[in-house]
Structures are given as C-alpha cells and as structure tokens.
C-alpha cells in the first residue's frame, strides 16, 4: 500500500563536499550537498546549488573559480562545522592546510583526498539560490585513494548526506557491474 507523503525530495543520499572560494581576498569553505553532474564527457561540468544568503557566493562570482573538495569520514566534524558557521563572522581557514592549483583563486584542502578545481561556466539564477555550473579544469587526488588512476570509493570514504534523517552515512559495498548485470535480461529477450 502506497501512502502519499507530499512533495518530499527522496534523491538522497548525496556526497557532502567542501566548496572553496576566495572571498574578500581570503579563502573560505562552505559545506554543500546539493550538487550534480551535468555531463560525463570532457569538458566535465558540475553544478552546486547555493543559497544566496551564503558568504561564499560573492567570491565565486568575483573570481569565477571555485574548488570542490571531498572530505573522508575522518573529517566529518570539520565538514559539519563549515556548514554551521559563516565566513562573514568566522575564519574557517585555520581548520585545514590550503593549496592552490592552476587557476590560482580556487583554494583547496590538503586533508581532503580528492579536490576538483573549477572554472565558473554559468550561473542559473533561482529566486533563492545561485546554481553555479563549473568546468573541472584539474583534479588532484592522493595516490593512496586511487585505483587505476580513478578514486576508489572504499578508500575515499565520502560522507553521504541525507536531509530526511539529517545524518551523514557511510558507503556500503559494491553490488554489481553497471552496463553488465542487465545484459542477463537482454540476452534472455534475444533467445
Ligand atoms: C551537511 C550540510 C550540507 C549543506 N548543503 C548545503 C547546500 O547544498 N546548499 C546550501 O546553500 N547550503 C548548504 N548547507 C549550509 C551551508 O553550508 C551553511 O549555511 C554555511 O555556514 C554557509 O557558509 P558561508 O556563509 O561561509 O558561505 C549545508 C550544511 C550542512 C551541514
């Protein structure tokens, strides 16, 4: 029996990331989970949905760059903190070691095993939110989390965000190979 529960977003979980930008000439980090993948072929574009009230937005608009840093489970407390306090009144930079890449104005977090350096491509102007679409120009990854040159989820251990339970979740186990397990049905249909 299905129950109607209203307009409830059930797309969670989503990975929790720390978005970095230089705001008023100082690096700042904001916790973001409402993000998306725009395309899967280079140049790769990703989207961030960021409330207009946030301090970080001005820095992304000014420099037209930002970083997307993926914290592991061991950074849960710091990640949550960056989503509680604002750069308007609090310096969040002392939490992390910061480095810069080729764009020069996208601050990245050394302690996060994966960092994506992005160039702003477009802003979609929602009434309450800026949807920032960025092109990934470079990705930095700790060698220890790589498996054949790609981040291994088991090693990265991302923080999975669920708004419905308001909890961070841990990653589970792989179930099967994409574009492969469905072939079983395709083959049967062709028999
Ligand atoms: C787990 C988590 C996820 C969040 N995701 C988003 C998000 O996707 N979009 C958003 O606008 N705010 C999000 N926030 C809220 C901002 O991170 C928070 O308001 C932050 O303090 C703003 O920082 P700033 O003012 O320094 O930019 C999230 C907060 C937490 C704790």
pLDDT per position as a tens digit, 30-85: 999 999 999 989 999 999 999 999 999 999 999 999 999 999 999 999 999 999 99
State the closest ligand 1 atom to the C-alpha of 90, by its place in the atom list counted from 1.
Answer: 26
Residue 163 lies in a domain: yes
Residue 101 lies in a domain: yes
Query: pTM for the whole thing?
Result: 0.97
Q: Is the CB of 68 under 6 A from ligand 1?
A: no
User: In 3-state terms, what secondary structure has residue 152?
Assistant: coil
Residue 9 lies in a domain: no
pLDDT in tens, 109-164: 999 999 999 999 999 999 999 999 999 999 999 999 999 999 999 999 999 999 99
Residue 64 lies in a domain: yes
The CA distances from residue 70 to 76, 89, 175, in Å, are 11, 24, 23
Residue 2 lies in a domain: no
pLDDT in tens, 85-104: 999 999 999 999 999 999 99
Helix, strand, coil percentages in the chain from 3-state DSSP, rounded to 5? 20, 40, 45
Residue 51 lies in a domain: yes
Per DSSP bridges, beta strands 129-141 and 146-147 are unpaired
Number of domains observed in the structure of the chain: 1
Q: Ligand 1 pocket check: which of 19, 30, 61 to mutate, most ligand atoms within 8 Å of Cβ?
A: 30
Expressed as residue numbers, the domain containing 72 is 14-190
Q: What is the CATH number of the domain that holds 21?
A: 2.30.110.10
Centroid of ligand 1 to alpha carbon of 20 (angstroms): 12
Residue 1 lies in a domain: no
Tokens 């700790």 sit on residue: 142
Residue 7 lies in a domain: no
């Amino acid at each position: 029996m299905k129950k109607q529960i209203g307009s409830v977003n059930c797309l969670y979980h989503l990975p929790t990331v720390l978005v970095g930008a230089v705001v008023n000439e100082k690096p700042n980090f904001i916790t973001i989970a409402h993000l998306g993948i725009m395309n899967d072929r280079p140049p790769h574009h990703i989207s961030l949905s960021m409330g207009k009230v946030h301090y970080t937005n001005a820095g992304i608009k000014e420099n037209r760059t930002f970083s997307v840093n993926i914290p592991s489970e061991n950074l849960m407390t710091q990640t949550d903190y960056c989503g509680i306090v604002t750069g308007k009144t609090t310096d969040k930079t002392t939490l992390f070691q910061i480095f810069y890449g080729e764009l020069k104005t996208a601050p990245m977090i050394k302690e996060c095993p994966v960092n994506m350096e992005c160039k702003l491509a477009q802003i979609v102007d929602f009434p309450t939110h800026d949807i920032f679409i960025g092109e990934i120009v470079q990705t930095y990854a700790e060698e220890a989390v790589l498996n054949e040159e790609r981040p291994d989820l088991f090693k990265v251990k991302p923080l999975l965000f669920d708004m419905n339970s308001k909890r961070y979740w841990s990653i589970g186990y792989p179930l099967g190979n994409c574009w492969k397990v469905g072939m079983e049905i395709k083959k049967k249909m062709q028999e």
